[in-house]
A and B are shown apart, each in its own frame.
Chain A
Amino acid sequence: MEIIKGVPLTSYILLCSMLFSIGVLGVLYRRNALVIFMCIELMLNSVNLLLVAFSRYYSDSNAQVFVFFIMAVAAAEVSVGLAILMMIYRNTKTTDIDALNKLKF
């Protein structure tokens, strides 16, 4: 317990922020839809990590319950997202996100 508490909170915050921004930049820069999904998962998991860290440091388990919620929602969202990606692939034979660009001015 003490070892874990030995790591200062700020390093956790820093770590999670960096993970989160990597996730955001990945979503913005990558063209492959699967990679974008993975980056979204990365963002979600960084928030999970931060929540657990806060929960440990303030001995409040409400945050851990919230982590479970986030995990469940992430699972549901991934299943739906992958199903949509499957349909896109079947229609356009590619996973490039710029494949569907007809709905424009």
Chain B
Amino acid sequence: MEQFIPLIPLMPLIGFAVLGLAGNNISKLMAAIIGCTAIAVSFVFSLLVFNAQLGTEESVTVTMFNWFEAGSFKVELAFLVDHLTSIFLLIVTGVGLLIHIYSSGYMHDDIAHNRFFTYLNLFIFFMLLLVMGNNYLVMFIGWEGVGLCSYLLIGFWHKVDAYNKAANKAFIMNRIGDLGLLLGIFLLYTKFGTLNFIDIKSHLAEIQVGDPTIVVATLLLFIGAMGKSAQIPLHTWLPDAMAGPTPVSALIHAATMVTAGIYMVVRSNFIYSLAPFTLEFIAIIGLITAFVAATIALFQNDIKKVLAYSTLSQLGYMFLALGVGAYSSGVFHVMTHAFFKALLFLGAGSVIHAMSGEQDLLKMGGLRKKIPLTFITFLIGVLAISGFPFTSGFVSKDEILMSVFYHNKLYFYIAAAVAVITAFYMMRLLMLAFFGTFRGTHEQEHHLHESPASMTMPLVVLAILSMLGGLVQLPHIYGGKPIFEEFLNSIAPTLKHEDASLAMKEWLMLGVTCLGFVVVYFLTKKFYADDKFEGVYTGFKKTLANNYYFDEIYNTLFTKPLNFISQYYNAFDRLVIDGGVDGIGKLVNWGGDKLRYLQTGYTGFYLFAMVLSIAAFLIISLFNLL
């Protein structure tokens, strides 16, 4: 089994190399086949690895080579495979494979189709490096790499200037977070002398709870997670990232890249458990993000923006779970979120494809009769994210809410409110797009068609996963066995809260959820399904619709002053630094210009120079002058 492990990230890398070198010289079908096969092979190997991990508690470390050694500090490029890694491997390669298949249909008419698959394969490679690394530095390679691929893919249609700006924004905000991550890694190194996960874990017995270095290090690491996973205040790049093609939004900004922060925190959970202050901070930031993003999503008119803010909100939920110590719940929500959010985004892509590129909800309506398969899968996705009983989303959200309840009642009520708002805006989305009557142009209506099989097949698979994915963690109350949590127990132990009233609380939540669904359904149907929806917002709603003016605030606070100071940096760069480097060249030129007079062409002069040099050597050696 160990020989398969290096192959898992290697296949997408080979796919990237082949596709990158071949470029447009191979047919679109060939490129799609190469791209999808690379990921499919990785997926098969991930299944084998997962199967092997099921039976054992041991982790496997595969060392590729020594990266560098500086004194006593040695870093290897090595892969660590344990239960946590195997789950993330399945998520990344599985959902990645489905999205690759979907992209072959969605990007079929695009000129740069081959380039798209090149970048997708590269992204999967870096994401696999991230989750498979056995020390912080290999993880950091993957971290930076997925940021790069995010930039490349968001700005994929680079002829449109606004998309380039969105790509820049994503990359730069990621970098701000990465600074925190790097500082955290440096601190960890000074404290432990090693960056290997297993080695750090063995050092932990010496550290007390609340040690200041650990608190600062974990805070800095979390700042990195804030940038990568788009928590407030580093969240404004995610809605703008919707400028990329929809499969990109599904893969990067729903299923995988944004969950890198979660992975990092769960991987370091033994360090975080020593810093309760940071955990509390994480929980609060997660809660704020979840709430703010949910309120914004209520007033968005673009189908992808609603889903983007929904992603922000769900990420907040995941960090809330981590913050209260429910690590396996956070990872479980990552998995279920990957299923239903990818489903929702791919479904939105299907809708956009049917609407010939239209993304505005105000121009849609009544689509459920025209594109029924998309409608059904989208409906399942909406039910899952809203937490309809016994869907995967229900199980994961319930678990998180339970853990939050035992931690802090106030957080619980806010989180529950967020769940209600989530259900509301998702239902709103469903009603606006699929119910009522069609509000688009005549030409669009003419063109409405169901998507090809390459696009609908992944939708169906993801719909099934969203429905049944909850079964691996179904609580005892409902007759299931929470095997997911048991699986992760050795890596990330979760605090268990058992008290007598647990069963009653579970049934109460189930009842409230069912009731809530009925209410939300009727409310949204009344507001949105009968074409009285104008889509224009005033006053307070306008603030929410404009993202609480976060972008404008950041613009005045940071962007404009920086642009202003950058003029001086630019002048310094050109005059001093370029002047210095060019100056050396000019110096050499000047020297050569003066030295050429030695080449007179007269043999007599050369003989004289020879004699002079020999005399000089003799004198210097005789009198030991040098």
Contact = CB atoms under 8 A, between A and B. Distances in A.
Nearest to A104: B601
A36 B604 CA distance: 10
Given A105-B596, A105-B597, A98 B602 contact: yes
Interface in B589-626: 596-597, 599-604, 607-608, 611
Contacts of B603: 97-98, 100-101
Contact of B608 (A28, A100, A102, A104): A28
A101 B601 contact: yes
A63 interface: no
Nearest to B615: A24
Contacts of A97: 602-604
B601 A103 contact: yes
B604 A31 contact: yes
Contact of A102 (B597, B601, B604, B611): B601
Interface string A25-37: 0011001000010
Contact of A105 (B599, B607, B608, B611): B599
Contact of B604 (A24, A98, A103, A104): A98
Contacts of A24: 611
Interface residues of B, number: 11
Chain A interface: which size bin? Answer: 10 to 19
Contacts of B604: 28, 31, 97-98
A65 to B, nearest CB: 25
Contacts of B596: 105
Contacts of A100: 601, 603
A28 B601 contact: no
A28 B608 CA distance: 6
B594 to A, nearest CB: 11
Contacts of A36: 607
Nearest to A25: B611
A101 B603 CA distance: 8
Interface string A85-102: 000000000000110111
A101 B600 CA distance: 8
B608 to A, nearest CB: 6
A27 B607 contact: yes
Contacts of B599: 103-105
A71 B599 CA distance: 33
B607 A101 contact: no
Contacts of A104: 599-601
A102 B596 CA distance: 14
A105 B608 CA distance: 18
Interface in B231-287: none
A41 to B, nearest CB: 15
Contacts of A103: 599, 601
Contacts of B602: 97-98, 101
A24 to B, nearest CB: 6
Nearest to A101: B601
Nearest to B610: A27
B611 A28 contact: yes
A40 to B, nearest CB: 10
* Most B-side CB within 10 Å, residue of A31, A36, A101: A101
A97 B611 CA distance: 17
Nearest to A30: B604
Nearest to A29: B604
A18 to B, nearest CB: 17
A101 B596 CA distance: 15
Interface in A72-87: none
A100 B603 CA distance: 8
- Sorted nearest first, the 8 A-B pairs with minimum C-beta distance are A104-B601, A101-B601, A105-B596, A97-B603, A105-B599, A103-B601, A104-B599, A104-B600
Interface of B: 596-597, 599-604, 607-608, 611
Interface of A: 24, 27-28, 31, 36, 97-98, 100-105
7 contacts: A97-B604, A98-B602, A98-B604, A100-B603, A101-B601, A104-B601, A105-B596
